[in-house]
Every structure is written in structure tokens, then in C-alpha cells.
């Protein structure tokens, strides 16, 4: 077979390097590539994917490695490959365009542009031959090339219309007159919170947990909203569904029962068959909510799953200096899920003495539970299975642990899925928050140690100390691409939480400084919302605002949360007011479509319920802080210190001595301090119920 190389050979992205030897003459996104399209009067094909994307690999094998297909692409188009994880800004723009054109989206995303970067046609996966009313990739290429030659003016008009559509859809946000007329009042009510809760429960799968039908995603923001809602309003149905959702995911094949960690989503309603890729942000978000669940329910299953998920991330996804890699591929040896699945015979040989009972526990059979092979999962809990079998839970758990150790050792001898070893700032920050929350919920100091190491990694490697600029990705000792809003928003959030759980105020000072950077570089003067890209980024056709909570949280939602907390911690009224305006500007959409605004729903609840200010001062502050942090207390800012700090607004007017004092405040108005954690928690509960 002929050996090819194209312009991607000099890139660092694992996804782009996967395509560096396709016969297609791929180029990275650049002004020079667009200029070449203009000079040669050719349309641009932009193909967007990511390293762990199964269907991206399929289309590569079927089409991009085919020399006859490459000949058409090279002759008629300027071909650009983009890693969506490196350039989510471009992915957002062109995904919106394709969704507007076709009503759906996904990856690989293939979109055709004018040389000015304006989209005019696109789709996702195209097969090598027509299939199920989907044209072949060659048919698409021929059709676009012919249209470009014969109807270029029509295509140009169509592209202009699409660009205008993208600009119009970007204009949702601030209603200035509505905000001006509020006079500090909140324009939503408890009844509207209840309507959001009811809307979520309409889509709740009462049997298998989660929301909606297959494919099923974890949707941790919705689970967090239900947990927070129950905290204030004692809603057994909401709490039960949040718990059911977590329990069924933990039992399902979406969870790796052998090595820990979660896959990105399930292809079925029962959580049995995952899309096997493992991504940092999913494991971060799930670990965070598992820590909250452990606080609420105090069930060992949540503690063990949290521990094993974080152990997986530290063992398989963390580099020595504390940075977390991005993802593990779904495929190995060209087969999806091969690394994670077992034949009945192989399982029995590896498991040894207890193979029969553990195989039954994990639903491992000779015929297989998926495509003639087996995905380990639990049809019922280990405790229920033990009761059914008439053996002690402790003995069964011991046997299970012994067998999974053998299986993991054996599995590690297999050919591993490819590792996407770039580090992304926002995803590292999400994992940092998960580690801090895990430390707070469990008291396990390992998680704080890793969080602090990771925080130093982010501060040291993603910023140019000479210019002050922040970057999105880091690999091979080099940071690249300007940081996006969600990168910095998640970093600020992580640093705030780390300062709270560690008692180290320096993390908070970093958070304040970065917030100033965001206000200067990303703020919109005509809306309280922030742009996704910084003001100096020039290679995008529009500056989008992102507000939907998708697989990762909206950068705007996270910034609204940050500004509220930092506004309280630093007594910055402007930041608090901007946070309130951000939540208000989207409250109608949040109430109407809570499934797409899960984090915003949590913020709306907090704005209605208020934010607790908890301060612990005195000799035993650090020890007593751990007792408070282990309690589920959403919607709070928290500080502890041996002595009051000069210049700290939350410490103003407070005293400490050999005794330890516990303060509960709102808007800097404090109740009489108490002298032990139990009294503080009683005071919080009493206030919540009034």
C-alpha cells in the first residue's frame, strides 16, 4: 500500500495525527488554507471529529483511506481536519449550521464552506455506498463540486443566509427593559421551580433511571438539580429518581466494573451497552455527583464507585506532574469495545475458583449478552444477589473483589485503546473540582493532594507568564490555542472550591485574578452573558455565546456561579449583580426547557433560596471543617481559618480564640455564633425550614 503524508504530520493532536497519512491532502485549520481555497476557487471541506469517536474511525477506514475517494477530494476541495476538542469554538459554529440544515448533528461532522469560512452544506457520517436514504460520500462530493461550478452565486447567497441565521440565533440573552424594571426583585417563583421539576420528571425513566430514551447520557446536572430541590423542598420522588439514576448507571455496563470509570454514554435504555470511549469530563462530572450522593445517602456503594472512578483517572489518565489526559478510545485493534468485553470461556479461565458465581453476578454467559461477547454488568445489586443465593454479602463482595483483580491484571495484558494524551484546561478543571468534592465528602486526603498538584499544573502550564494569555490545550511541553470561556470558568470554579476545602486562600486569589481576565476579554457590553471566544481571536466567522448545558456545563452558567460566590467572598457587588442578571436573562428558557439548562436550573434554585455564608474560626477550625464539609449543604460559600484574616470581608467583625466559633450568615448578616459543628448544622436545618 502506498505511504502518504499530508499537512497534519506536524500537528500534536492525536486525532489529527491519526489522519496524517491518509491519501486525502488534509490541512489544519488556518488562514492560509482558506486563502488557498480562494486562490484556487474551490470550496472548503471541513471534517471535524475527535480521537475517541467510533464513527470517525469508520468513515476514515471506508472513505478517507480510499485513494479513489481521496483523488476526488484533493481535486475539487481544500480539505481541512479539525479536532473538536482542540477547537470547540469552530465545532460549535459549524455544528449549529449543520443542525439548522439537517435537523440533527453528531460526529464526524462534515461541512462545506465558502473560502470565507461560511457554511452552505453539511452532514455527519456518510457511507461509502448509498444506505437508508443517506447518499454515499462520493455522491456528495460529486454533487457539491458540480454545484460549485454551475451555481456558485446561489451557494454564496445560501451561505450568507446561513451566516445571518447563526448571528440571529446568537442574539438571545439580556432583556434590558425587563432587568431595569426589576429593582432587585426575583422574577421567578417556587411554583416555577416546581414546574421545572415536573418537566424533568416527565422525561424520567422510572424503571432504569436517567432521562429520555436510548441513547442515554448521564445528565449529571439534572441529577444535581433533583438532589438540590429535595434538600429544600423534601421531594421524595425527585430524590428517589436521582438515586435510581445513579444506582442503575453504577450497575450498568456504562460503568467499568473491572477497572473503574464510566464510558461516555449508553446505546440502550438499560445502561448495558456503552459507547466504550472513556472521557475525562464524564468521569469528573459523575465523580462530583457521586460525592454528593455519598453525603446524602451514606451508602458504601457510592463511596466505592467514587474511589474506583478516581483511582482509574489517577492510574490511567494522569501524567506525573498532575495533568489529566483527555480520553481513551472506544476501539482497540479496530474493534469497538474489544478491550472491555469477555467470552464466557476466557472469563472462566481467568476468574478461577469463583468463576461460576461471579460470572452469574456479572451476567457472563457462553452465548454472550452483547454481540456474542459479554459486557460485565449487574442486573441486581451485589447485596440482593447475595440474598437470593443465600450467602453473606461480605463473602460475595470478597469473592467479587478477588476475581476483578485477576480480570484487571489479565485485561492489562491486552492491546489497550488509544490514549488521547493532550490535556485540556476546562476538563482538567472539572476533574479538579471532582477531586476537591471527593475530599470534602470522604475526608480522604489523597484526593486533596491530587487536586493541589493538578491546580499547580494548570496554573503553570496553561498560561504564558510573559503575556498573561491563557491557553486551551497542553501537550509535549507546549500550550496551544487561546483559552475559551468554559476553560477559564471551570478553572475559576475549581480554584474557589479548592480554597474552601483546603483553607488555602491563595487559590482564591488566583480565582479573583482570572475572573478579572475573563471580564476584560470575554464580557459583552450589551448583555450580561459572555462570549465563548476572547475579543482578540480573529479566525472565527462569529463570536458565539454558549448557554446550553450539554455534555459539559455551559461556560456562562459556570461564570454565573463563580460571580455569585466570588462576589460574596470578596464583597464585590457588581459581580453579584451580574450573576443575578445572567440567571434572570435566561430564566424563561430555563423554566421552559430544564432538560437543556440543568446547571442554570440549579442556579435559579439558588437565587431563590439564597446562598449560605459559613465561616469557622478558631484553634480547631481545620478539624471541624471536615465535619461540616461531609454534610450535604448546597448553595453555600465556606471558609475556615485559625485566625480572622485581615482584608477578608467574610471574616470582618468575627473573632477567634482557643475556642472555635461557627458563623452562619446571609448578605453579611450573621446569626449568633455557635461552638460546635452539630449546633451549626442544627441552625442551618432550622433556617432552611423557616
The predicted pLDDT at position 184 comes to: 55
Percent of the chain with pLDDT over 90: 90
Average pLDDT, the chain: 94
Residue at 249 is within a domain:
no
Burial class (CB in 10 A: 0-12, 13-18, 19+), 275: buried
End-to-end CA distance of the chain: 75
Q: In angstroms, rounded to a whole number, what is the distance separating the alpha carbons of residues 115 and 112? A: 10
Give residue-wise pLDDT tens across range 448-464.
999 999 999 999 999 99
Number of helices (H) and strands (E), helices first, in the chain?
27, 19
The predicted pLDDT at position 656 comes to: 74
The predicted pLDDT at position 220 comes to: 98
| 644-679 burial code (b ≥16 CB/10 A, e <16) | beeebebbeebebeeebbbbbbeeeeeeebbeebee
Domain span at residue 373 reads 344-413
Residue at 498 is within a domain:
no
Greatest Cα-to-Cα distance within the chain, rounded to the nearest angstrom = 85
Rounded average pLDDT over 175-200: 74
Q: In angstroms, rounded to a whole number, what is the distance separating the alpha carbons of residues 437 and 630? A: 9
Residue at 387 is within a domain:
yes
The predicted pLDDT at position 53 comes to: 85
CATH code, domain carrying 69 = 3.40.30.10
181 — pLDDT class (breaks 50, 70, 90): very low
Give the HSE-up count for residue 437: Cα atoms under 13 Å, Cβ half-sphere.
26
The predicted pLDDT at position 689 comes to: 63
Q: In angstroms, rounded to a whole number, what is the distance separating the alpha carbons of residues 475 and 487? A: 16
All residues at 6 or more sequence positions from 112 whose CB lies less than 8 Å from its CB, including other chains: 43, 44, 45, 46, 77, 119, 120, 121, 122, 144
Lowest-pLDDT range, 47-56, 84-93, 198-207, 673-682?
A: 47-56
Give residue-wise pLDDT tens across range 576-586.
999 999 999 99
- Contact status, residue 82 vs residue 46, Cβ threshold 8 Å: yes
Residue at 467 is within a domain:
no
177 — pLDDT class (breaks 50, 70, 90): very low
The predicted pLDDT at position 182 comes to: 53
Residue at 623 is within a domain:
yes
Burial class (CB in 10 A: 0-12, 13-18, 19+), 511: buried
Give residue-wise pLDDT tens across range 103-159.
989 999 999 999 999 999 999 999 999 988 889 999 999 999 999 999 999 999 999
Rounded average pLDDT over 432-439: 98
Q: Is 447 helix (H, G, I), strand (E, B) or coil?
A: helix
366 — pLDDT class (breaks 50, 70, 90): very high
Cis peptide before 108 (omega within 30 of 0): yes
Of 397, 413, 429, the residue that ends a domain is 413
Burial class (CB in 10 A: 0-12, 13-18, 19+), 549: buried
Residue at 59 is within a domain:
yes
Of 366, 394, 413, the residue that ends a domain is 413
Structurally, how many domains does the chain consist of?
A: 3
Residue at 297 is within a domain:
no
* Helix (H) or strand (E) run with residue 585 in it: helix 573-585
Lowest-pLDDT range, 48-52, 196-200, 248-252, 571-575?
A: 48-52
The predicted pLDDT at position 176 comes to: 47
Give residue-wise pLDDT tens across range 225-236.
999 999 999 999
Of 413, 428, 453, the residue that ends a domain is 413
Rounded average pLDDT over 298-323: 97
Rounded average pLDDT over 412-427: 96
The answer to whether the pTM exceeds 0.85 is yes
The predicted pLDDT at position 565 comes to: 98
- What is the length of the chain? 690
Give residue-wise pLDDT tens across range 491-538.
999 999 999 999 999 999 999 999 999 999 999 998 999 999 999 998
How does DSSP assign 265-328, residue by residue?
EESSTTS-SEE--EEHHHHHHHHHHHHHHHHHH--HHHHHHHHHHHHHHHHHHB-TTSPBP-EE
Give residue-wise pLDDT tens across range 10-27.
999 999 999 999 999 999
The predicted pLDDT at position 185 comes to: 65
174 — pLDDT class (breaks 50, 70, 90): very low
Strands 612-617 and 636-641: parallel
Rounded average pLDDT over 326-350: 95
Residue at 56 is within a domain:
yes
Amino acid at each position: 500500500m502506498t505511504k502518504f503524508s499530508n499537512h497534519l504530520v506536524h500537528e500534536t493532536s492525536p486525532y489529527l495525527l491519526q489522519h496524517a497519512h491518509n491519501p486525502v491532502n488534509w490541512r489544519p485549520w488556518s488562514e492560509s488554507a482558506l486563502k488557498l481555497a480562494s486562490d484556487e476557487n474551490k470550496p472548503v471541506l471541513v471534517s471535524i471529529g475527535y480521537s475517541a469517536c467510533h464513527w470517525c474511525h469508520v468513515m476514515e477506514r471506508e472513505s478517507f483511506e480510499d485513494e479513489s475517494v481521496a483523488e476526488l477530494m484533493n481535486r475539487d476541495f481544500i480539505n481541512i481536519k479539525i479536532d473538536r476538542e482542540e477547537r470547540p469554538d469552530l465545532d460549535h459554529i459549524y455544528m449549529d449550521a449543520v443542525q439548522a440544515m439537517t435537523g440533527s448533528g453528531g460526529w464526524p461532522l462534515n461541512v462545506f464552506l465558502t473560502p470565507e469560512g461560511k457554511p452552505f452544506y453539511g452532514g455527519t457520517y456518510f457511507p461509502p455506498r448509498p444506505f437508508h436514504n443517506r447518499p454515499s460520500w462520493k455522491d456528495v462530493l460529486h454533487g457539491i463540486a458540480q454545484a460549485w461550478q454551475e451555481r456558485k452565486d446561489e451557494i454564496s447567497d445560501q451561505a450568507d443566509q446561513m451566516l445571518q441565521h447563526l448571528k440571529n440565533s446568537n442574539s438571545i440573552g439580556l432583556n434590558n427593559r425587563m432587568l431595569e424594571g426589576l429593582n432587585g426583585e426575583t422574577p421567578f417563583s417556587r411554583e416555577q421551580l416546581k414546574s421545572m421539576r415536573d418537566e424533568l420528571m416527565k422525561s424520567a425513566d422510572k424503571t432504569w433511571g436517567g432521562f429520555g430514551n436510548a441513547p442515554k447520557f448521564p445528565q449529571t446536572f439534572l441529577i444535581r438539580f433533583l438532589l438540590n430541590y429535595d434538600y429544600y423542598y423534601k421531594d421524595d420522588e425527585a430524590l428517589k429518581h436521582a438515586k435510581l439514576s445513579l444506582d442503575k448507571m453504577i450497575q450498568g455496563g456504562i460503568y467499568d466494573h473491572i477497572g473503574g470509570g464510566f464510558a461516555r454514554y449508553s446505546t440502550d435504555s438499560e445502561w448495558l451497552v456503552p459507547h466504550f470511549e472513556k472521557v475525562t469530563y464524564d468521569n469528573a462530572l459523575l465523580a462530583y455527583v457521586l460525592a454528593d450522593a455519598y453525603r446524602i445517602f451514606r451508602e458504601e456503594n457510592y463511596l466505592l464507585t467514587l474511589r474506583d472512578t478516581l483511582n482509574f483517572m489517577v492510574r490511567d489518565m494522569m501524567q506525573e506532574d498532575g495533568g489529566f489526559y483527555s480520553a481513551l478510545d472506544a476501539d482497540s485493534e479496530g474493534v469497538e469495545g474489544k478491550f472491555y468485553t469477555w467470552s464466557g470461556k476466557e472469563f472462566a479461565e481467568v476468574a478461577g475458583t469463583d468463576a461460576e458465581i461471579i460470572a452469574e453476578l456479572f451476567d457472563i454467559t457462553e452465548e454472550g449478552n452483547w454481540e456474542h461477547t459479554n459486557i460485565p454488568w449487574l442486573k441486581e445489586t451485589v447485596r440482593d444477589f447475595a440474598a437470593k443465593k443465600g450467602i453473606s454479602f461480605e463473602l460475595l463482595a470478597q469473592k467479587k473483589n478477588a476475581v476483578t483483580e485477576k480480570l484487571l491484571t489479565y485485561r492489562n495484558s491486552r492491546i489497550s485503546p488509544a490514549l488521547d494524551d493532550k490535556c485540556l484546561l476546562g476538563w482538567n478543571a472539572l476533574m479538579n473540582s471532582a477531586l476537591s468534592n471527593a475530599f470534602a465528602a470522604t475526608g480522604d486526603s489523597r484526593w486533596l493532594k491530587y487536586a493541589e498538584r493538578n491546580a499547580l499544573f494548570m496554573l503553570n502550564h496553561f498560561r504564558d507568564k510573559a503575556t498573561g494569555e491563557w491557553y486551551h490545550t497542553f501537550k509535549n511541553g507546549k500550550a496551544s490555542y487561546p483559552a475559551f470561556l468554559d476553560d477559564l470558568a471551570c478553572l475559576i470554579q475549581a480554584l474557589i472550591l479548592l480554597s474552601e476545602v483546603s483553607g488555602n486562600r491563595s487559590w482564591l486569589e488566583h480565582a479573583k485574578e482570572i475572573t478579572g481576565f475573563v471580564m476584560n476579554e470575554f464580557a459583552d457590553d450589551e448583555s450580561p452573558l459572555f462570549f465563548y471566544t476572547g475579543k482578540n481571536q480573529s479566525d472565527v466567522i462569529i463570536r458565539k455565546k454558549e448557554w446550553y448545558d450539554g455534555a459539559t456545563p455551559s461556560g456562562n452558567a459556570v461564570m454565573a456561579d463563580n460571580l455569585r460566590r466570588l462576589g460574596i467572598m470578596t464583597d464585590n457587588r457588581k459581580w453579584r449583580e451580574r450573576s443575578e442578571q445572567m440567571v434572570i436573562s435566561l430564566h424563561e428558557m430555563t423554566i421552559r426547557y430544564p432538560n437543556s439548562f440543568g446547571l442554570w436550573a440549579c442556579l435559579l434554585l439558588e437565587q431563590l433560596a439564597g446562598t449560605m455564608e459559613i465561616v469557622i474560626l478558631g484553634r480547631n477550625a481545620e478539624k471541624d471543617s471536615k465535619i461540616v464539609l461531609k454534610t450535604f449543604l448546597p448553595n453555600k460559600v465556606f471558609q475556615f481559618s485559625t485566625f480572622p484574616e485581615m482584608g477578608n470581608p467574610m471574616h470582618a467583625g468575627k473573632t477567634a480564640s482557643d475556642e472555635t466559633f461557627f458563623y452562619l450568615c446571609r448578605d453579611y448578616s450573621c446569626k449568633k455564633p455557635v461552638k460546635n459543628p452539630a449546633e451549626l448544622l442544627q441552625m442551618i436545618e432550622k433556617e432552611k425550614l423557616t
